[in-house]
Structure 1
Amino acid sequence: MVYKLLKKLPLLILLMISIHQLTAQEKKIKITGLILDETKETVPFVTVGIVNKSIGTASTEDGEFSLLVSKNELQDTLYVSSLGFDTYKIKVDEFLAKKDRSIVMIENVVNLTTLKLLTPKEYVLKAIKNLKKNTLSKPHVKEILYRRAASEDGVAKFWVENYIKQKDRGPANWMGRIQVTEARKSADYRFWKRTQWRHSIVSMHEVNPFTPSDSEHARNLKKFTWKKTGDSSYEGEDVLILEGQNPDKKWEKITVYIGLDSYKVYRIERGRTLYIYKKHKSGKVHLSYFKNEWGFPKHMIPRELHGTAAETLHYRMEAFVLNVETDRKKTNIVDYGFDKDMGSLDLPYHPEFWKSLNTPPDTKFYLKNKEEIEGLFGVPLETQYQLSNQ
């Protein structure tokens, strides 16, 4: 018996070494940094990623970013790209060796006044027409950190975070399937504990004015009056900043950033809604960041709650696309969560998952809501997670 064990010992040692090496290879290295312009002002919503790989993130409103890489990416190139600035590139290991982890972006001055351009409206129409060509439209899975705060009387009273896998074919198509894999929430201090019949991520698709060309949004864009308000650039391409006005609703304005040559849409601003897009390694663009806030018209509020805090209920939302997977072998998902309120999901709480997740640095959005919820009864958010989740 001992002889047999001794005979197998080299194989066991080799197996243990292999497991150790595999674990070492899978261990992630966290890259953090701050993005500034030449005047030392922070630059928000900047695309940060690894060249030719679907590893990336967006900087926060304060210009901070964090990114997880493996040892295999140490010799790869980190790139930082934003509208109006030259793309910054540096080897990952060189950036990690820097004592000062700030990145100074150089402004790219663009002047398109001497060029003969199409009319602003023609650029919008071409952006709609080329949406499928310009966006990542083959089946892929976006891994999304989706956050929602429900506020009453202007104060956040319920906080939910979901980690979602969304099988998608880009904004040129209707929203794809979703699988909520992880969830956590705070205590619910709302007066009106409203539940939605479907997940809040649906609004991320529905309020996008650049949805399929036959949608009401796209038809509305064709009616808007458009004017050029500025110039910019993105990764070597000149970009037009166009402002649209709805002729039927004076309050409705939309600002879009459209590539001069490609007609790619890089940014959309619509009231309290913001979309930021970045380039995939294929050259096509996909969603990187989303932010939105909306309330409820009075007819949607139960009559018995009129005159109460329920009339002030608002949803504040923020989403980061943490990864994009295009390998068809890795794009299978199990539908879960589409037809449920994101704060009512029947999922176990895994604190270790949230600790290991490559969450972005604390954004102003996160800090504001966290402070308001913790301030209601002086209970830390982490404690609320432990008490309020399964």
Structure 2
Amino acid sequence: MKKIIFLIVLNAIHFLSFSQQNVTIEGVIIDVNKTTLPYASISILSKNIGTVSNDDGAFFLELKESNLSDTLTVSTIGFTSFKIKVQDYLNLNEKVIVMEEEPVLLDEIVLTLPVNIVKEALKKLKETAYKKPHQLNILYRRFSNENNSSRFLVEHYIKILDTGPTASTFGMVEITQARKSNDYRFVKKKQEFHAVEMIAKQNPLRKGIILKSFDWEIIDYSSYDGEDVIIIEGKEKENHSKWIRLYIGYDTRSIYKLEKSDLKAVYIYKKNMEGKTVLSYHNREYVFWENVSPYMKTLLKLEQDKIKLSYRHEAVVLGIEYTTKKIKVRHNLSKGKDIGDYNIEYQPDFWKNLNLPPDSKFYKTSSEQLESLYGIPLKAQFELAK
């Protein structure tokens, strides 16, 4: 009897461990012309699991065997959403998803004034965007560059309590994991805040757009998930070099994408199971100049008394938690503290098992620059950096 019980327990343990084995989903997203599609959303909407493709259209997603019967949905502006069962995708000989352009059914002439379409979209944000408290699980990166060469990288895994783009700021923000390279900067310029906060603070949807300050015009048409999309650009009346571009659903007035000239910022939103929009991806770049000493000028072989610096920011939403009881965010940001000043112990196993997007060409180039400075591999820098 004891042997029988032991065998039953052993089989049960074996079954549980087998059923929880990881399943790796990876591939490349392209169009019919074999052009790669960056920042496409790859999701299992029913499980709130997802990621985005990198600059080169590549993606990576770690799932469980229990997800084999789930549907993988790929969506991006201008293309028909692609759906496939996880198991069917794994059975493909070539792991390439070809997206087909979605025909735009709108007439070229839209009678509604562009400014009124924008006004309606902003007014309906409380209906079209998901505004109940939810937790965003974000991979946040900042590359610090000097003279267009990377000299410092910080990556944080962050949990954010958010109520959507109708709120002026994020709620609580918690850094749960971190890793960073050695700091090879000559000019250690610091920000007096954690850069993740700027996703909200610099978002025109949250700050509010003064419509009368812009000249609005329809510049193009596209589509998203079966809906025609109107692309409307607003140029500041006093300075036409500054602009905001909105990708607005014609039927729902949902805002699926926002671009702005300031910091070359991009915000991409996707639909969740309820059809409400949630943040999927964001990037921006802050470029500035700093004075250097005569010694530094000679050392760096500069032709002028200033050095070009930049911060390249990227935020990838890797998961969203909607269930109130499962939302757990403990605020741990410090005022006046730069993103590089947080000393959180590096946990390699966590990063190894995280659904990180594949390294893009930009990431590889920047990493190689960091490694070539003193011949130290990036993984070793993560271990050594304090």
TM-score normalized with structure 2 length: 0.90
2:332 aligned residue: 336
Report the CA distance between 1:118 and its aligned residue: 1.6
Cα separation, partners in 2 of 1:94 and 1:227, compared to 1, 3 Å:
same
Report the CA distance between 1:368 and its aligned residue: 2.9
Q: What does the per-residue CA deviation read over 1:46-75, in whole Å, with 9 as the maximum and x for residues that have no partner?
A: 111124231111111211111122111111
8 A Cα contact 1:231 1:238, kept in partner: yes
The separation in 1 between residues aligned to 2:325 and 2:145, in whole angstroms, is 41
Residue 189, structure 1, aligned to residue 184, structure 2: yes
Cα separation, partners in 2 of 1:20 and 1:335, compared to 1, 3 Å:
farther
Deviates more, 1:102-111 or 1:89-98: 102-111
Larger fraction in strand: 2
Cα separation, partners in 2 of 1:108 and 1:338, compared to 1, 3 Å:
farther
Report the CA distance between 1:188 and its aligned residue: 0.4
1:240 aligned residue: 230
Report the CA distance between 1:16 and its aligned residue: 5.0
Residue 256, structure 1, aligned to residue 252, structure 2: no
Cα separation, partners in 2 of 1:85 and 1:338, compared to 1, 3 Å:
farther
1:112 aligned residue: 106
Amino acid of the residue matched to residue 376 of structure 1? L
Cα separation, partners in 2 of 1:92 and 1:385, compared to 1, 3 Å:
same
Cα separation, partners in 2 of 1:294 and 1:265, compared to 1, 3 Å:
same
2:42 aligned residue: 48
The separation in 1 between residues aligned to 2:192 and 2:353, in whole angstroms, is 31
1:274 aligned residue: 266
Cα separation, partners in 2 of 1:19 and 1:265, compared to 1, 3 Å:
same
1:64 aligned residue: 58
Q: What does the per-residue CA deviation read over 1:174-216, in whole Å, with 9 as the maximum and x for residues that have no partner?
A: 21211100001000011122333321101111221111xxx3x
Amino acid of the residue matched to residue 123 of structure 2? K
Cα separation, partners in 2 of 1:383 and 1:114, compared to 1, 3 Å:
closer
3-state secondary structure, aligned to 2:38: coil
1:37 aligned residue: 31
The separation in 1 between residues aligned to 2:294 and 2:133, in whole angstroms, is 46
Q: Identity over aligned residues, as a percent?
A: 39
Matches within 5 A, 1:42-191: 42-113=36-107, 116-173=110-167, 174-191=169-186
Amino acid of the residue matched to residue 100 of structure 1? E
1:3 aligned residue: none
The separation in 2 between residues aligned to 1:18 and 1:337, in whole angstroms, is 44
The separation in 1 between residues aligned to 2:316 and 2:75, in whole angstroms, is 16
Q: CA RMSD in A?
A: 2.4
3-state secondary structure, aligned to 1:78: strand
2:348 aligned residue: 351
The separation in 1 between residues aligned to 2:10 and 2:329, in whole angstroms, is 32
Cα separation, partners in 2 of 1:311 and 1:249, compared to 1, 3 Å:
farther
Amino acid of the residue matched to residue 359 of structure 1? L
Cα separation, partners in 2 of 1:273 and 1:118, compared to 1, 3 Å:
same
Amino acid of the residue matched to residue 279 of structure 2? L
Cα separation, partners in 2 of 1:351 and 1:84, compared to 1, 3 Å:
same
Q: What does the per-residue CA deviation read over 1:292-346, in whole Å, with 9 as the maximum and x for residues that have no partner?
A: 1003476xx7999997987522111111100000011110211113533221113
2:368 aligned residue: 371
3-state secondary structure, aligned to 1:52: helix
The separation in 2 between residues aligned to 1:328 and 1:11, in whole angstroms, is 40
3-state secondary structure, aligned to 2:46: coil
The separation in 1 between residues aligned to 2:305 and 2:124, in whole angstroms, is 45
8 A Cα contact 2:293 2:305, kept in partner: no
The separation in 2 between residues aligned to 1:153 and 1:68, in whole angstroms, is 37
3-state secondary structure, aligned to 2:370: helix
Amino acid of the residue matched to residue 285 of structure 1? T
8 A Cα contact 2:71 2:85, kept in partner: yes
| 1:26 paired residue among 17, 20, 44 | 20
Report the CA distance between 1:115 and its aligned residue: 5.6
3-state secondary structure, aligned to 2:116: helix
The separation in 1 between residues aligned to 2:213 and 2:292, in whole angstroms, is 35
The separation in 2 between residues aligned to 1:253 and 1:162, in whole angstroms, is 30
The separation in 2 between residues aligned to 1:81 and 1:278, in whole angstroms, is 8
2:321 aligned residue: 325
**Corresponding residue pairs, total:** 376
Report the CA distance between 1:284 and its aligned residue: 0.4
Cα separation, partners in 2 of 1:220 and 1:15, compared to 1, 3 Å:
farther
Q: What does the per-residue CA deviation read over 1:146-166, in whole Å, with 9 as the maximum and x for residues that have no partner?
A: 000111122111100000001
8 A Cα contact 1:209 1:221, kept in partner: no
The separation in 1 between residues aligned to 2:90 and 2:212, in whole angstroms, is 48
Amino acid of the residue matched to residue 34 of structure 1? V
Gaps of 5+ in 1: 1-5
Report the CA distance between 1:124 and its aligned residue: 1.2
Cα separation, partners in 2 of 1:281 and 1:15, compared to 1, 3 Å:
same
